[in-house]
Amino acid sequence: MEAFIPYIQAVGRGEKLKRDLTCDEAEEAMRLILAGDASPAQVGAFLVSQRVKGESAEEIVGFTRAARAFAQQIAPRVEGLMDLGLPYDGKVKTLQLAPAAAIVLAAAGQPVVFHGAPDVPTKRGVGPAEVLAALDIPADLPPEVVERQVEEVGIGFLYAPRFIPAWHALTPIRQQFGLRTALNTVEKFLNPANAPLVVAGFFHMGYLQRMRLALQALFGQGWIIQGPEGSIECPPGRATRVLSADPAADPLVIDSQALGLEGRGELAAPGEPAAHARLLHQLLADPAGAERADALRFARDTLFLTAGLLLFLGGRAVDLAAGVELARQTVEQGAALERLQAWQALCRAATVGG
């Protein structure tokens, strides 16, 4: 465990002596953590010191490279795969809409993978895994099964306890000090399916430029969406910023009114994961019925805008307006619900067969 002490000292000394780790140092520090060569006390001291200091772009890159080396990665044979980097600690204030957006993407021809884990601090909120389980999509399928699902229906969810157990083993330590750490950032960049395009959600402006630099260094391209609770969702009426991995590129600012989407309403969390799932299913099965209630209409329009933006970023639409229209047609013509049903059927077959 002595090999880890210099890394704690580097980031945890006084104001004048503490420093950022180099990319290589950060990679080695995370490798030691995930290999079990740092004690729980050392891991806690390191993560809290990093939290106080603030992680640099180079540190995020190094941490992520080390973590990806510990992951069981998949390589589905599909063109233009998109990885959605969602907050592993879930959502407590707003609807967990990302699973529905991913289903719309797959139905519209944009293959997509997303990933998560249970009971992650700091929020320990409703994550996609819990919502998928309530939609009869088991979250904990083996990575090789998920790989086949992406190839067959264009969508898959990877469960961190399955594809990177060493990372998940850190959860009890993280829960003991109740702070957001660098791990909350890194897990959005794990990209376990090696997708050529990563789209990650962040909220705090102070992190956005660092995340752009990290995203560019890791994958060469990608996008960051400033969504609620660090998600990739784009509620109408909100000035959502979308940033390319290229730090020199100007951010996009979403104007929902120009797209004919009203900005009145809120995306309030409906309660337990099953309630989130029921609402998502309703949006996919009866989009016209959303006209009867303001809250449903706002959730439906958020789904259209979010999926439309992702279709545009993935190159499936020539502009944002075309992406929103493609998302709308995909839902209203029943293709999204059919894709959910096809995914459910594959999951049932995998469960029976495995």
- Three-state secondary structure string covering 135-187: CCCCCCCCHHHHHHHHHHHCEEEEEHHHHCHHHHCCHHHHHHHCCCCHHHHHH
DSSP alpha helices (H): ranges in 156-293?
160-163, 165-168, 171-177, 182-186, 205-219, 273-285
Residue 332 lies in a domain: yes
Number of CB atoms found within 10 A of residue 75's CB: 11
Residue 354 lies in a domain: no
Are β-strands 197-201 and 155-159 bridged in parallel, bridged antiparallel, or unpaired?
unpaired
Q: What is the pLDDT of residue 111?
A: 99
Residue 274 has pLDDT above 80, yes or no: yes
Residue 97 lies in a domain: yes
Distance CA(189)–CA(148), nearest Å, equals 22
Distance CA(30)–CA(269), nearest Å, equals 34
Residue 124 lies in a domain: yes
Shared domain check, 222 and 105: yes
What is the per-residue pLDDT across 313-345, written as a single tens digit (0 to 9) for each?
999 999 999 999 999 999 999 999 999 999 999
Residue 26 has pLDDT above 60, yes or no: yes
Rank 75-89, 205-219, 224-238 by mean pLDDT and report only the highest: 75-89
Shared domain check, 307 and 169: yes
Shared domain check, 157 and 100: yes
% of the chain beyond a pLDDT of 70: 99
Shared domain check, 175 and 26: no
Shared domain check, 140 and 29: no
Residue 352 lies in a domain: no
Q: What is the pLDDT of residue 276?
A: 96
Tell me the pLDDT of the chain averaged across its residues.
94
Residue at a domain's end among 54, 70, 91: 54
Higher pLDDT, 290 or 103: 103
Q: How many residues does the chain have?
A: 354
Shared domain check, 177 and 30: no
Residue 354 has pLDDT above 60, yes or no: no
* Residue 7, domain extent: 2-54
| Residue 254 contacts residue 309 (beta carbons within 8 Å) | yes
What is the per-residue pLDDT across 175-209, written as a single tens digit (0 to 9) for each?
998 889 999 999 999 999 999 999 999 988 778 88
Shared domain check, 88 and 50: no
Distance CA(318)–CA(248), nearest Å, equals 22
What the block records as the tokens of 10 is 């580097």
Shared domain check, 134 and 11: no
| Residue 80 contacts residue 197 (beta carbons within 8 Å) | yes
Residue 243, phi then psi, degrees to nearest 5: -120, 135
Cα-Cα-Cα-Cα dihedral sign, residues 30, 32, 38, 40: positive
Least confident of 37-46, 265-274, 286-295: 286-295
User: What's this model's pTM, rounded to 2 decimal places?
Assistant: 0.96
Residue at a domain's end among 38, 54, 70: 54
Q: Where does residue 167 fall: left (phi above 0), alpha (psi -120 to 50 degrees), or beta otherwise?
A: alpha
Shared domain check, 266 and 211: yes
Distance CA(137)–CA(129), nearest Å, equals 9
Shared domain check, 192 and 104: yes
Residue 131 lies in a domain: yes
Confidence of residue 290 (pLDDT cuts 50, 70, 90): confident
Distance CA(220)–CA(319), nearest Å, equals 22
Single-letter amino acid, residue 227: G
Shared domain check, 314 and 205: yes
Look up tokens 């594809």; give the residue: 163
Residue 351, phi then psi, degrees to nearest 5: -70, -45
Closest CA to 130 of 276, 6, 315: 276
Single-letter amino acid, residue 181: T
Residue 170 lies in a domain: yes
Residue at a domain's end among 34, 54, 74: 54
Residue 17 lies in a domain: yes
142 burial via Cβ count (<10 Å: 0-12, 13-18, 19+): middle
Shared domain check, 10 and 154: no
| Count of domains forming the chain | 2
Residue 287 has pLDDT above 60, yes or no: yes
Higher pLDDT, 237 or 76: 76
Looking at residue 126, which CATH number applies to its domain?
3.40.1030.10
